[in-house]
Amino acid sequence: MKHGKPLTRHTPLSAQTELKSKASLQRGVGPRRKKALRSRSKKTERRYVLRRALVDDLLAERPWCEIRWDEGCTGRAVDVDEVLSRGRGGDYLDPENCQTPCRYCHDKKHTEPAEALDRGVAAASRGRRAA
Ligand SMILES: [Zn+2]
């Protein structure tokens, strides 16, 4: 590539070769996708169906808050939370990795992650325990 004067905002662009495609960049013109992209893959969709069933089962079997952060705890489990988060490799379909907190304790767990690690209601990563 030859180096000349630096481009400025008003330097006209000059193409060395013809563009191969003449597709219009206008919205709604040209080849269009017939169906919308899936928001979730079929595999993920199947896992979410299983997750939904697991959440219903766990909340029925374990209706009381399993974190009990402090006196703000309402006692009634409304969420299913993963001890080892999905982002850290936790499986949200593994009942062993799930706990049923009330909303108050669930919020506390996520707003105070260091304290959550100390209390053992969160895990740092797969196979590791809080020190
Ligand atoms: Zn609670």
Q: How is the chain split into domains, by residue range?
A: 42-119
For 44: left if phi > 0, alpha if psi spans -120 to 50, otherwise beta; the answer is alpha
Q: Where does the pLDDT of residue 84 fall: very low under 50, low under 70, confident under 90, or very high at 90 and above?
A: very high
Work out the mean pLDDT of the chain and round it to a whole number.
86
Tokens of 45: 């969709």
Q: Quote the CA–CA distance of 103 and 81 in Å, as a whole number.
A: 10
Instruction: Name the residue type at position 119.
Output: R
Query: Is the model's pLDDT at 24 over the cut of 70?
Result: no
* Residue 127 pLDDT: 54
* Residue 130 pLDDT: 46
CA of 36 to the centre of ligand 1 (A): 41
CA of 51 to the centre of ligand 1 (A): 22
Q: What percent of the chain has pLDDT over 70?
A: 78
CB under 8 Å to 70, separation ≥6 — which residues?
108
CA of 72 to the centre of ligand 1 (A): 7
